Each structure stands twice: as C-alpha cells, then as structure tokens.
Structure 1
C-alpha cells in the first residue's frame, strides 16, 4: 500500500508542531517508515471528517497559544481568560486525547491560579465561576489535598451551594454548575457531607419545562447546553431515568425554535414574543457559533444512548458550525469549545474513553451536510 497524503497543517508554535506529530495517527499522517503502510489507527485523510481534522488542528494551535503561565497569572480571574469554563479540565482532556502528558503542565498553570482563588475565598465565589472538574482531575492525578479541599469548598460555599441554584430559569447556569460541584464532591466521598442534589436536579428539569412551555421570558442556547451537560453527568453517575427524555425534549425544542440553517448555529438568546429586554432587542438575531460546542455534545450523547439518527445528524451540523465558525483567539472562547467537545467525539465514536482507546476519533464519520438545512 502506498503512503497516503497527509492533511497540511500550519502550527503557529513548535509546541503545536510537536503535538501534531503525536496525533498523526488520528489524522491520516502516520506511516510505517520501512513499508510505507499505515500504522495503528491511521486512516486516509479523505476518510476523516474535515470538521474533526479542523477541531484537532484548532486544539493544538490555540491550545498551545493559551498555555501561558505568565498570561494566566497576570490575568488572574479576568473572565476572558482560559481558566473560565474550566481551562484545567480542557487541558487535561487534551493530554488524554493526544497521549502527551506535557499538556498536564498547562492544566497545572490554571490550577495554580484558580485553586488559590477558591481557597483564599473559602469557596465563596460567584455561581458562574464554579469549575470543579479540573480540580477533581488534578486531585485524581496528583493526590494534592488542596485540590480536593477546593472541590468541597465549591460544593458547600459557593454562591448557590446552599440554595441548590434556583427555580427561576434565569439561574439555569448556576444551577447546572452546582449540580456538577455536588457530583464532584460526592465522588470524593467526603464523610458526613450532605448535599441537596435532588433539589438542584428538580430545578434544572423545571428550567427545561419553562423553556419549552414558554413560561420563561427567554432562553440562552448555550445555557441550555450547560444544563444538559450537568444532567448527562448526573445520568452517568446515577442512571437517573428522567434524564434521556429531558435531554430529548430540550434538544427538539431548541432545534425547532432556534436552529439557524445558515452556519448551523443558534442565536445568543431566544426571547418570548413581546419581551423587550436589552439582550432580546440586540442579540436575538445574532448567531453565536462560538457557543456551538457547548451544545453539540448533548446531541451526540442522545444518539449514543438511544440510537436516534436524527440526533446524530443534528449534532454533526452543530459541531461543524462551531468548528468552522468559532473565533478561538481569546482564552475563554477556546475553553468554551473544548470544555466537553471531547465527549462529543467519544459518543460519536461509540467509546467511553480516549485513554483506553487512543486514536478512536479517526473512526468518527459525521453525517453528510443536508442541503435543506435540517
């Protein structure tokens, strides 16, 4: 078999170029030097979705660009930085996906800053700044008790920890985040720790009902994605039978109500007729592809657990719209896009872990674009 063509990349740093070589089997660039045949899971470049290739390319190029200890320490908790949306979690996933542990150093830069912020404030941080996953992963990998303490403080002391979020759908993000914090704290098995998880879950399910039946004045698609992420996390831990139907209902409503066929994205906000808030007046018609990858994984999960092909097609369109439409120049937007899009690829590949099955993303075949925009 002759050596197959390699997709051309132009990494902006030597670090990105190094990691690209490690990912070569995923993108059709790997070969046996003596025989010219493919190695491992390498595939012809034409066999891999262009969106997956671009996603990998962006991961390496922009990931290396935002892996700067100096920048992270200088910016501190500025919400445009890579720490926001849990940069440590994103970098740990890059490490697992690529098989290169050097990305863990990038995660450590974020942990140093964010953990200090949480500990110094005894966990009393705003509800939209609750990011337990990276801290939990740092504790798993290093045994550092300070990261464990920070997770527990977020679950008990952050702004909406005592109230479990809230019943108003305007608090959907904060409710989703505290669900994640409760689940992370439970995983740590802290003795005597009682957390009102069920209350938060009931609120989140109520938010979905409010969006669908129109009792909510508005809905932000990316916050719907965050709610579904939290409920999917819950299902993975408890098997809660309410979750699949809730996810399906929310995604069907979101697609029917807000999907923009041009660019396969959603507006920043969806507003009930007659609502005249500033955001509704200025952003209701504004496409927001930077936020697509906070939504796409939920479609992939629904397909993974139910076999629903329409969810796969829709999710692939949303994934492609985000990959090709997002601006990743700011750290925050990079982490938005890599917070849980790894899960999107896992579920579309039909696997549970890239650590156990490296290179599986090369098997992801996205549905062909629909000319009708469905």
Structure 2
C-alpha cells in the first residue's frame, strides 16, 4: 500500500503520545519525536523494501522527519504562534489607474510572503504602495515564525469615479395663451455641458437661459435635452393656445416687365395676391386695384416707383417695384449726387477720427472699412490735399497703429483692411507730414506688409482649419480680406508666398482662389452638402454684401495678375459640375446676374413668411436684402431679410467690372440700379462706417463703368 508521504507526516506528526508508544491522553501531552520517527518508518516500510516511497503528489526522503527540502520546518512547540496585528489597505476603493497603501505588523514572525496581486518576501512590519490598479485586487500575506504560520487577505475594489447626472428644469410662463400671443420659456440645468432644443423650437441652447416664443397659433410642445458627463436629461413643456385659428396673412407679388426702359418707354405691372380683399396703389400710380391684375405704366420720362398695398382679414402687406429709365448714353444714374455726397458727408465723418477730440472707442467705429484708404481716394478724386490727408492720417492711426497693434498686427480676420497701408506706403508715407499729423504715425516699411500676411486671425491657410473654407461660406469675408492682403503685399514689393501649410506645394493665393470659387458655387446653387469639416447645411447664409466682398477680392487678384503679365485664370479652378465657369469672367458674369435677377429669400431659419420666395434684390427699396435667411446661430432677428441700401456700394463694383470685360448691357443696367439705390438711400449721416462702406469701392465702380 503506497501512502503519500506528505499526508502521512501531516497526519502523524501532531499525535500526542504517552510513555513512548501508547496513543491517548497523558498528563503533559508531550510530543514524542521518537514515536513520530518510529511510526513514520513503520508506515514507509509497508510500501516495500525500499527506504523511500513516491507518489504522483510528490516525493519524500527517509533520511529525516522533516520531509522534502521545500517544506517548512515543524513549529517549535515552545514558541508562540505568529500573529498579524495589522493588515490594511488604504484606500480600500480606488479609481482605475490609482494605487493603495498596504500596511502590516506582526508579532512572533520572522518573515512574510506576499501572494495573489502582490509578491515577494516581506519583513515582519512594513508599508508598501501597490502598483496602479485597473481591476479589483486581492492581497494576501503569509507570515511565519518558530511557532508556525498565520495569514490574512484584504480586497481592494476598483470603481469608476461617480459622476453626477445632469438635472434640468424647464418652464413656460404663461402655459396657456390666446392665438397670436407669446410665452416665455426659462430653463436651468446643473452638471450639463450643452443643451439641444427640439419639437417647436430647435438649435443649440445654453445650459440656462430664456426664450420668447413667436406668436403662437396652435398648441406647441417645447423640448430640451441637456447632456453632461453623467448622462442626459430631457424636459418638455406645453404651451396651449386657445380660441379659433387666426385668418391667414395675405401674400402679394408685384413685378414689372421690363424693369429698365428707354426714355418714354413703358412697362407692364403684374400683381397677384392671396387672402386679400382690397388693394390700393401709391407712388407713381394711384387708385383702388383688384387683388389680381396687370396694368401698363404708360410712357415714362424718368425712373418711377410703383407701390401696392393689399389688406385682408389676416393683416396688410405692401410691395414696390421700380422701373428705371435709361438715357442710352452710358451716363451713371445719380452720379452728380454721388459726387456731392462724397464731400458733404466726408467732411462730417472725417473729424470724428480726430484723436484730440475723441477716444479710441469712438474713433475706431468711424474708421471701419479702411477710412485711410477712403480719404486718399477722395483726395485724388477732388484734387485737394486737405482736409483729406489729415483725415487719412487720423484713420491710419486709429486703425493701423491702434486697432492692429502695429507692429504686432494681432487683428481679427474680418478687420484686416490693408488698402490704406498700401496707399500710404506707395506715396512715401505722407500722413506723417499731414497738416495735422497723427502723433504716433511712423513710416510703413516692407516688413509691415509681410506681417499683415503672416500675423493675425485667418492670416495663413492653416488657420482656416484645413479645407474648411473650401466647404464653408461662413468665413467668406475673412478669406476675401486674406486675398486682398496678399495682393497688397505683392504690390508693395513683397515676393509671392509660394508655400502653404498643406504640403501641396502651391502658392497661398492659389489655395485661396480655389476656395473662393467653391464658396461662389455654393451660393449660386445653394449647394451646402456636407464637404469635409463644416456645420450643418442649415447654418449657411447668402449675404449679398459678403458676396460683394468676395467678388471684389477676386477682381483685385485678377487685375494684379494682368498687370504683372501673368495668366489671370491660372489659379482658377472651375467648381461647377457642368463646367459652366471655365474662367473668372464667366463665373462673375453668371453670378452677378443670378444675384440680381434670381436669388431669393429662403425659408430656413425662420424668416418671416411674407419674405420667403422674394428676390434678394428688392426693387422697391432699390437695395439688396441683408441676407437670404434668418440665422438664429448669429443672434439675428428675423428682419435681417429686409433691404440694406447702406451695403449697395460693396456689391455694385462687380457689375461695372463685368460690363467692362464683356460689354453686357444687362450688367450695366443692373449695376446702375444698385449704384443709384446706394446713392439715394444709404444713411451717410449715420457715421463714418456707413460713409466708408459707401465709398471704399464705389470709385472702382465709376472707373470701370466709364472705361
């Protein structure tokens, strides 16, 4: 019979014996080593003649009672059993990647062994920091001494840090309104990073705020979801609308065909309305009119405006249309008034830049749209140096020295006007010697023109976030000013920037011109599909004056390439699907006509219903509307789709340039209408900004129109 030696030794070695061999109780329970050795030898002999035996469980030598060499020695019967008086882990719960501190203390132990999630021989007392823990861990310590062994185990939990769930309160006051009344929503959230509106409202919202509903005609539900690190929470509130639905508001369209006639020519007015019961004419016609009809104007000796107002149970609506009379001699309409306004209002706006009379906070608003450049152009046009040179010097100090923080040129992308710098530099910095020189003006050098292309927001392609500008029209103004700044720098004498940050080994201007073409195509075709990095398509706006700045930047580049003997279309990349814009001239010819004759107000964003579908060129107001839609993202009010004649002169020059390049009578007639509306209706006494934006580019209109 083969006994596992380890088991036999364990079973026998602790038997109490008396008088050598008798098993049982004794007064002293003396452990008899002799009995143990004898019994082990007897049992081992049962396995055969050999003095040793083996089994699958291990081996034992008969050479001594201690057994195998890896076994601990038997405890000393006279020694105290060791004890772990302290074994702890602090903290016992940790976050992933954190550690815990293990402390232990013993009595009557000579050494300890660590097992499970730590290892090695440890002293009888100690403090040790664990490794970084990623999961629940178990630490066991076995301590030994002459009197035997003792052990303990401690567990450490690894848990993700607790994150408070977001909370949200949303309420409406009042919660019940009559038809066409409004309610105010208020909300407040904790532990949230962002909130998104849905149902009867939309868009991103702050984590707390207030919102006035539009006039309500039906019960509406407003929902808000706020999200934080601890999850999301949604709340909804209902605003009930009582009473019968309101009658529909009337609609009205009024057109003239043609809109431009020769002297003593006539046009046909056509109008159509819905939900209107009566209409009345005013302006250059009069009397009651049917809600739907047409009428001939009769012979017109001068430009005439025809207005029509219609009324119905749901309210009133008015429309106007202007029929222009063309003299046929290429004379520019309102040209004399444009010249007169230049000096009259220029001498009102210029003194507002005087640093001896006004603080910087006032002056920079009147220097916007490059006052220095504007006054240089007036000085050249009138042939009078003063007061225009002094005004130019004040404008230069306000904008370039102070606004741009020269020589640092830390400027925002939509403030980067550079034409005044060029005028001053090419003329030998005469503002330094003006009759009343600005005190801190110092001569411009070539270094300034390098800095304006390298410093400031949107100065280099990398700051447009990769190909962002190739797919997002919302930075069109910044891109236009970047193009102008690079052209200005080259005109001053700086070499062309032949590198960009994309590794494409093309000139910066080539990158910029490609992006500009993409923006024009998106505006022209309302093609705001996702292209790389951009916000959702509903964010985009078509603002005619922004398109005017874009077209003017493209023209400035084109003219510089021609003057320098380079191919002006070399950097142009036709962005259209049908290759309908093979050249810059072709692109601008199509785009200008579309903007004047076809572009419309869009429904997206909440534009007032009476404007949706109306042309961006408001012939009655003789001006382009500010935008083709209402954009709540920019904090705008719905009236941004109203006409803005103050901005006409930023758009008109492109039409004169197309006329110069192609001889298109359509471009000439359209351009003259834009120019005349800007002269007649711009608020030139509203301040320097309005004056400057009317004259910064209108000199180019006159030059190209008459060449």
1:111-122 equivalences in 2 (<5 Å): 111-117=396-402, 118-120=404-406, 122=408
Aligned pairs, how many?
302
Alignment-derived partner of residue 204 in structure 1: 516
1:313 to 660, 669, 686: 669
Q: Contact 2:425/2:445 (CA < 8 Å) preserved in 1?
A: yes
Q: Contact 2:544/2:595 (CA < 8 Å) preserved in 1?
A: yes
Inter-CA distance 269–132: structure 2 relative to 1 (3 Å threshold): same
CA deviation string 1:180-230 (max 9, x = no partner):
001011122225854611111111111101101213431110000000000
2:680 to 319, 324, 343: 324
Q: Does 1:157 align with 2:157?
A: no
1:144-223 equivalences in 2 (<5 Å): 145-146=443-444, 148-163=446-461, 165=464, 166-167=469-470, 168-190=472-494, 193-194=497-498, 196-216=508-528, 217-223=540-546
Q: Does 1:270 align with 2:568?
A: no
Q: Does 1:87 align with 2:443?
A: no
1:142 to 416, 423, 428: 428
- Measure the CA separation in 1 of the matches of 2:405 and 2:658: 37
| Structure 2 gaps, min length 5 | 1-329, 430-441, 500-507, 529-539, 563-567, 570-582, 600-615
Q: Contact 1:90/1:338 (CA < 8 Å) preserved in 2?
A: yes
| Structure 1 gaps, min length 5 | 1-46, 351-374
Q: Contact 1:80/1:331 (CA < 8 Å) preserved in 2?
A: no
Q: CA deviation at 1:146?
A: 2.5
Q: Contact 1:226/1:294 (CA < 8 Å) preserved in 2?
A: yes
- Measure the CA separation in 2 of the matches of 1:315 and 1:210: 23
CA deviation string 1:321-373 (max 9, x = no partner):
110010012110100000110011111111xxxxxxxxxxxxxxxxxxxxxxx
CA deviation string 1:229-254 (max 9, x = no partner):
00000110114233212212221221
Inter-CA distance 262–279: structure 2 relative to 1 (3 Å threshold): farther
Q: TM-score, normalised by structure 2?
A: 0.41
- 1 or 2, which has the higher helix percentage? 1
Q: Contact 1:225/1:294 (CA < 8 Å) preserved in 2?
A: yes
1:1-374 equivalences in 2 (<5 Å): 51-68=334-351, 69-70=353-354, 74-76=358-360, 81-102=365-386, 103-117=388-402, 118-120=404-406, 122-143=408-429, 145-146=443-444, 148-163=446-461, 165=464, 166-167=469-470, 168-190=472-494, 193-194=497-498, 196-216=508-528, 217-239=540-562, 240-241=568-569, 242-255=583-596, 256-257=598-599, 258-271=616-629, 277=633, 282-329=638-685, 330-350=687-707
- SS of residue paired to 1:101: coil
Q: CA deviation at 1:67?
A: 1.3
Rg larger in 1 or in 2?
2
- 1 or 2, which has the higher strand percentage? 2
